[in-house]
Amino acid sequence: MGFSMTEGIIFALILVGLEIQSCCSQVTQINRGSFPKGFVFGTASSSYQFEGAVKEDGRGKTVWDTYAHKFGKVVDFSNADVAVDQYHRYNEDIVLMKDMGTDAYRFSIAWSRIFPDGSGEINQAGIDHYDKLIDALLAQGIEPYVTLYHWDLPQALADKYNGWLDPQIIKDFAVYAETCFQNFGDRVKHWITFNEPHTFAIQGYDVGLHAPGRCSVLLHLFCPAGNSATEPYIVGHNVLLSHATVAQIYRKKYKPTQQGSVGISFDVMWYEPMSDSAEDIEATQRAQDFQFGWFMDPLFSGDYPISMRSRVGRRLPTFSEAEAALVKGSLDFVGINHYTTWYAKDNSTNILSLLLNDTLSDSGTVTLPWKHGKAIGDKASSVWLYIVPQGIRKLMNYIKQKYGNPTVIITENGMDDANNPFISIKNALKDEKRINYHNDYLTNLLASIREDGCNVKGYFVWSLLDNWEWAAGYTSRFGLYFVDYKDKLKRYPKHSVQWFKNFLTTV
C-alpha cells in the first residue's frame, strides 16, 4: 500500500499521548494575557467573498464571477457581485476591528484588480485601492496579513491556457506576486501565497463543485470537461512550484530590505481512527497524507508522501532535482485553516476507486463525522463542520512532531450559523454557540503552546463579517458581525464581538 509502518506507529503514539494530555489539562478561563507575549489575534477575509465592486475600477473577470453566474452552482442562486461591499466600506470595517481590539487583518488581493487579464498591463486603480486599504489598517494599528491568491483566478488565464493546469501559470503568478511586493512590501510584512490549494484542487478539478468546475465524474455528467484522476495533482504541483518561485524571488530581492516573511495556508481537518485496528490507524495517516502531506511534505522534504507516490503512481507529477531543492524549505511559516475533526477508516471494499477513479478514492480511506450512528461532536450549520475542540491541539502536536515544530499561524478558525430568514436580528445576534466554540478551541490551542511546546504564533477568526460563502452563497453565517442583507448590508455586533473584546482587552 506504500504506507510506512514506522509512520503508522508514530501516528498511533501521538494519538495515545494526546488522549492522556487532553484528559489532564483544563483551562477554566483564558484571555489575551494567557498567551505568549506577541501572539497575534486577528480576523480573516478574502477578496471575492468580501469586496464586491466586481466591475469597478478596471477589475477583470475571474473564474468565480463566471462560475457563480451559472445556474445551479450556488445553492441560493446568489453571486458575489456585491458581497458585503468591503471595497467601499473598508474604513467602516476597520473601525469594527479596532473597537474589538484585534492586532491584524488577513485579507486577499484580487489578482484581476492588479492585472485584469492576469498578465500584461498593470491596473493602477487596483494598486491605489490596496494602498489605501493597507494605509488605513496601519493607521489604526492593525497589521496587514496579505493572501496573494484566494481562489479568484483571472478568467483570461483560464481561457488562455486553462490556468493552474499549465506551467505558464508559474511565470504569470510570479510577475503578479512581485508586483505586489514592489508596491506594498514596504508596509506588508506577512505574505501568504495561497489559500487552501488542497481545496481548490479537489473542489475545482476533482469533484467540480467550485470554480472552474472541472471533473470527469460519471463521464462528465456534471462537468463539461476535466480529468479527476490527473488534473488535481497537476494543479497542486503547479501551485507548489509557483509558491516556491515566489518565495525565492522575495528572499533574494525583497526580504533584505523589507524584512517580511512568506508562508502558505492549508485547510487541515484532524482525523481520528474509526477504530484502534492497524488498518484504520494506517488509513488515518493516509487521509492526512492526501490532505496535508500532499503539500507539506514537498515543502519540508522535497517530495510527496510515500503513500501518494505508491498509490497514485505515474499520475502524480515528479520534481526535478532543481525543483525539489527550490520547493524544500520555501516557507517561513505554515498557515493552518482548521475547523473540524472527522473519523477515518480503511476503504477495504475499493468501491470508491471503481466508481470515481480520482484523488478522493486514491487514498484508500473513508472519512466520516459519525461512528456507530453518533456524531463526533456538536454540529454547526455547514454539513461538514462538527465542533471538536481537542482536534486543534492534536493537530498542532502532529505538525510539531512530523515537521520539526515549524512556526504555525492559525489563519482561519470559526463556525457558522444558518442564515435563517425567520429569526429576528436580535435573536440572530445571540451566538453563544460561537462563543463556546472559540473559547474551547483557543483553550486547546493554548494548551498545545504552553504544555506541549508547539510553535504557534497567531490566531485569525473566520470571519469578521457574515459573507458570501462560495457554493453555499449567503446561506451560511460565519461572522462575528451580523450583516443584514435586506437592509443596505448594515453590520451588527453579535454577542461574540463583546466576548472577543473582553478576551482581547484582558491581560
Which segments within 151-289 are labelled E, that is strand? 190-195, 261-267, 270-273
Query: β-strand 40-44 against 374-375: which pairing, if any?
Result: unpaired
What angle (nearest 5°) sits at the alpha carbon of residue 303, between those of residues 147 and 306?
120
Instruction: Work out whether the CA dihedral 345, 346, 348, 352 comes out positive or negative.
Output: positive
Residue 388 host element (H or E): none
* Residue 41 CA to its chain's centroid (Å): 17
DSSP 292: I
Report the b/e string of 59-85 with b at 16+ CB within 10 A: bbbbbbbbbbeeeebbeeebbbebbbb
What angle (nearest 5°) sits at the alpha carbon of residue 283, between those of residues 312 and 335?
80
Q: Which residue has the cell 445556474?
A: 71
Count CA atoms within 13 Å of residue 372 on its CB side.
Answer: 2
Hey, which residues are catalytic here?
196, 412
CA dihedral 311→316→320→326, nearest 10 degrees, is -100
Number of neighbours of residue 165 by Cβ within 10 angstroms: 19
Question: What does the alpha-carbon distance between residue 495 and residue 173 come to, in Å, rounded to a whole number?
Answer: 41
Asked if 361 and 347 count as a contact pair (C-beta separation under 8 A), the reply is yes
Asked if 18 and 493 count as a contact pair (C-beta separation under 8 A), the reply is no
CB-neighbour burial class of residue 207 (10 A; exposed 0-12, middle 13-18, buried 19+): buried
Question: What does the alpha-carbon distance between residue 266 and residue 159 come to, in Å, rounded to a whole number?
Answer: 27
Asked if 329 and 402 count as a contact pair (C-beta separation under 8 A), the reply is no
Asked if 128 and 171 count as a contact pair (C-beta separation under 8 A), the reply is no
Query: β-strand 190-195 against 143-149: which pairing, if any?
Result: parallel
How does DSSP assign 311-347, residue by residue? HHGGGS----HHHHHHHTT--SEEEEE---EEEEEE-
